[in-house]
C-alpha cells in the first residue's frame, strides 16, 4: 500500500496534487511520501516486536538526508555500505550505536572513521577484512564489535545481478568454513565477536529462501556457541521484495516474514537485526516525467519522455518493470494502445517499456513511474549532461525539495581546467 492515489481524477502524493509539484519543480523529479516510508518501517518494527530487535534501513536504496532523518526519528537504525553512507547517516543524526557497517571491501580509512565516530557492528565479509578491522582497532586502542557474514549457499530465486547468497557470489564466507573463521576472529585482539550476519539477495518474492538461510544460521549459532563463542545478535539482512506489477505479484508481507524469523531463530534468544531497503522506500517514491513527443514509428509508436535511463536505470540494468501511469486519471473503459516508452538518451538501452498498453497520451502529459523510490535517485547520473534529477518529499499537504536540480553552470563548474589549457 502507498499514498500515491487518484483523487478527483488527479494523482496525489498524500494530499498534494502531483501536477502542482511538477509546476513548481519542473520535470523529471522523484517524489517520496513520508506516510508510506513510516508505514513500511512500522510494519517491520511491529513484525519483530516479539523480541529485542533493530530495523536498520539499508540506505543504499535511497539515501537523501530527509529520508534518513524521517526514518531515524521513527527509531530506525541504518545499514551502511561505505564511508560516505556512514557520514550521511551521522549527518542525519543517527548515533553510531544504531549504524551497522556492511559491504565487501571496507577500506582501512572507512574502518577507522567508523571506529572513531562510533559503530554498532561491522559485518565482516572476508578473512583479510577481518584482520584489517582488528589491526585498525588495535592501533586505535579500541575493540571492534563484529558479526561475520556467512554465505549460506541458497538460491534466492531473484535476478542474477541482485542474488548474493549462492556460493559463486562474492559475498561473505562459505558457511562450511565459518567455524574456522570464527575461531580466528576470537583470537584477534581488536575484535569482539557478537553475532552472525546473512543477506541472500534483493527483490525476493518468496519466503522459502529466507527459511533455508535462517535455518542454517540457527544451526550455526548452536555450533558456534558449543565452540565457546558468545552469539547474542543475528543480522538477517534485507531483501524482501515489492510488487512492481500490481496484478500478478504478491510478495510476502513483513508480518509473515517476522513470523518466519521467530520460527527459525526465535528460540535462540538473540537480538534480531534486519536490513530492509527496497520494501521501505520502493513504493514510497515515484518518478514523474513529461511526454516531450509522441512519435509514430514503423510498426510501433513511441512516447519520448523527459526522463531517461540516467534518472532511472533499473529497466536498462535489471530488465525491471515499472508501472507507468498518467497523472490525470484516464476515463474508465478507455481504449488502450501499445507504446514503446523511451528517454532522450542516445542509447537503445534507454527504453523504459516496450509495447506498453497506455491510454490516449499527448505531448505535455505527465506520467508517473510507480515503485521508483528504491534504487532510483541513488543510481541516477548526469550522463548526457542531464542535470541530476531532483527529489521532493511530501508530508500531508506540505512538500519540499530535498535535493534541487543543479544548473548547467553548477555542473560545468565542477570540472577544473589544468593550467596548461
Ligand X SMILES: *Cc1c(COP(=O)(O)O)cnc(C)c1O
Q: Which residues bind ligand X (CB under 6 A)?
A: 58, 60-61, 79, 81, 102, 199, 202, 237-239, 275-279, 374
Strand 144-151 with 173-174, pairing:
parallel
Distance spanning both ends of the chain, measured CA to CA:
56
Residue 278 annotated as binding? yes
Residue 6 annotated as binding? no
Residue 262 annotated as binding? no
Residue 299 annotated as binding? no
Calculate the CA dihedral of residues 330, 331, 336, 337 and round it to 10 degrees. -60
Instruction: Give yes or no for a contact between 209 and 155, defined as CB atoms under 8 angstroms apart.
Output: yes
324: β partners: 369
Residue 32 annotated as binding? no
Measuring CA to CA, which residue among 370, 397, 398 is closest to residue 285? 370
Query: Measured from the CB atom, is 33 or 289 closer to ligand X?
Result: 33
Query: Measured from the CB atom, is 81 or 150 closer to ligand X?
Result: 81
Instruction: Give yes or no for a contact between 196 and 217, defined as CB atoms under 8 angstroms apart.
Output: yes
Residue 201 annotated as binding? no
> What three-state secondary structure class fits 29?
strand
Find the shortest distance in angstroms from Cβ 196 to ligand X.
13
Find the shortest distance in angstroms from Cβ 173 to ligand X.
14
Q: Which three cell numbers stand for residue 137?
A: 582497532
Query: Measured from the CB atom, is 98 or 199 closer to ligand X?
Result: 199
The region, left, alpha or beta by phi > 0 then psi within -120 to 50, assigned to residue 373 is: alpha
56 is catalytic: no
For the beta carbon of residue 46, count every other beta carbon within 10 angstroms: 13
For the beta carbon of residue 166, count every other beta carbon within 10 angstroms: 16
Query: Measured from the CB atom, is 71 or 325 closer to ligand X?
Result: 71
Query: Measured from the CB atom, is 86 or 339 closer to ligand X?
Result: 86
Residue 246 annotated as binding? no
Q: Which long-range contacts (CB under 8 A, 24 or more apart) does 261-264 make?
A: 261/47, 261/48, 261/214, 261/236, 262/50, 262/51, 264/211, 264/214, 264/215, 264/217, 264/218
Residue found under cell 512492481: 244
Find the shortest distance in angstroms from Cβ 79 to ligand X.
5
Find the shortest distance in angstroms from Cβ 265 to ligand X.
17
Find the shortest distance in angstroms from Cβ 170 to ligand X.
11
Q: Of the residues 1, 332, 346, 421, which is catalytic?
A: 346
Find the shortest distance in angstroms from Cβ 278 to ligand X.
3
Residue 275 annotated as binding? yes
Query: Measured from the CB atom, is 79 or 350 closer to ligand X?
Result: 79
Find the shortest distance in angstroms from Cβ 125 to ligand X.
9
Length of the chain counted residue by residue: 421
CB within 8 A of 250, min separation 6: which ones?
243
Query: Measured from the CB atom, is 102 or 380 closer to ligand X?
Result: 102
Residue found under cell 559475498: 171
- DSSP per-residue letters across 284-306: GEEEEEEEEEEEE-SS-EEEEES
Binding site for pyridoxal 5'-phosphate: residue ranges? 239, 275-278, 375
Q: Which residues are catalytic?
A: 346
Q: Which residues define the annotated binding site for substrate?
A: 278, 314, 318, 347, 375
Amino acid at each position: 500500500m502507498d499514498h500515491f492515489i487518484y483523487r478527483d481524477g488527479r494523482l496525489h502524493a498524500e494530499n498534494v496534487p502531483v501536477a502542482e509539484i511538477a509546476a513548481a519543480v519542473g520535470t523529471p523529479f522523484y517524489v517520496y511520501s513520508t506516510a508510506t516510508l513510516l508505514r513500511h518501517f512500522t510494519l517491520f518494527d511491529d513484525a519483530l516486536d516479539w523480541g529485542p530487535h533493530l530495523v536498520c534501513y539499508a540506505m543504499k536504496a535511497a539515501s537523501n538526508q530527509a529520508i534518513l532523518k524521517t526514518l531515524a526519528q521513527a527509531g530506525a537504525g541504518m545499514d551502511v555500505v561505505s564511508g560516505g553512507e556512514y557520514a550521511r547517516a551521522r549527518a542525519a543524526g543517527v548515533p553510531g550505536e544504531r549504524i551497522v557497517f556492511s559491504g565487501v571491501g571496507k577500506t582501512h580509512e572507512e574502518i577507522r572513521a567508523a571506529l572513531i565516530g562510533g559503530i554498532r557492528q561491522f559485518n565482516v565479509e572476508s578473512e583479510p577484512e577481518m584482520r584489517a578491522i582488528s589491526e585498525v582497532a588495535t592501533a586505535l586502542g579500541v575493540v571492534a564489535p563484529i558479526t561475520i557474514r556467512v554465505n549460506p549457499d541458497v538460491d534466492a530465486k531473484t535476478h542474477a545481478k541482485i542474488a548474493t547468497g549462492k556460493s559463486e557470489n562474492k559475498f561473505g564466507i562459505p558457511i562450511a568454513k565459518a567455524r574456522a573463521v570464527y575461531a580466528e576472529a576470537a583470537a584477534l585482539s581488536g575484535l569482539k565477536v557478537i553475532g552472525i550476519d546473512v543477506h541472500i539477495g534483493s527483490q525476493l518474492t518468496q519466503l522459502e529462501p529466507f527459511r533455508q538461510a535462517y535455518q542454517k544460521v540457527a544451526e550455526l549459532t548452536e555450533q558456534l556457541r558449543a565452540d565457546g563463542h558468545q552469539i547474542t545478535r543475528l543480522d538477517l539482512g534485507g531483501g524482501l521484495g515489492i510488487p512492481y506489477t500490481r496484478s500478478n505479484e504478491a510478495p510476502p508481507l513483513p508480518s509473515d516474514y517476522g513470523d518466519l524469523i521467530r520460527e527459525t531463530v526465535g528460540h535462540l534468544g538473540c537480538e534480531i537485526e534486519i536490513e530492509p531497503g527496497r520494501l521501505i522506500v520502493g513504493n514510497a517514491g515515484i518518478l514523474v516525467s513529461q511526454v516531450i513527443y509522441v512519435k509514430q514509428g514503423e510498426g510501433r509508436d513511441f512516447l519520448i519522455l523527459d526522463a531517461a535511463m540516467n534518472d532511472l536505470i533499473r529497466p536498462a540494468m535489471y530488465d525491471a518493470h515499472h508501472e507507468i501511469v498518467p497523472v490525470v486519471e484516464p476515463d474508465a473503459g478507455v481504449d488502450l494502445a501499445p507504446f514503446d516508452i523511451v528517454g532522450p538518451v542516445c542509447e537503445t538501452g534507454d527504453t523504459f517499456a516496450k509495447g506498453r498498453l497506455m491510454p490516449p497520451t499527448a505531448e505535455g502529459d505527465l506520467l508517473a513511474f510507480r515503485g521508483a523510490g528504491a534504487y532510483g535517485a541513488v543510481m541516477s547520473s548526469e550522463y548526457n549532461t542531464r542535470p541530476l534529477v531532483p527529489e521532493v518529499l511530501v508530508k500531508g499537504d506540505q512538500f519540499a525539495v530535498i535535493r534541487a536540480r543543479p544548473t548547467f553552470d553548477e555542473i560545468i563548474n565542477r570540472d577544473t581546467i589544468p593550467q596548461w589549457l
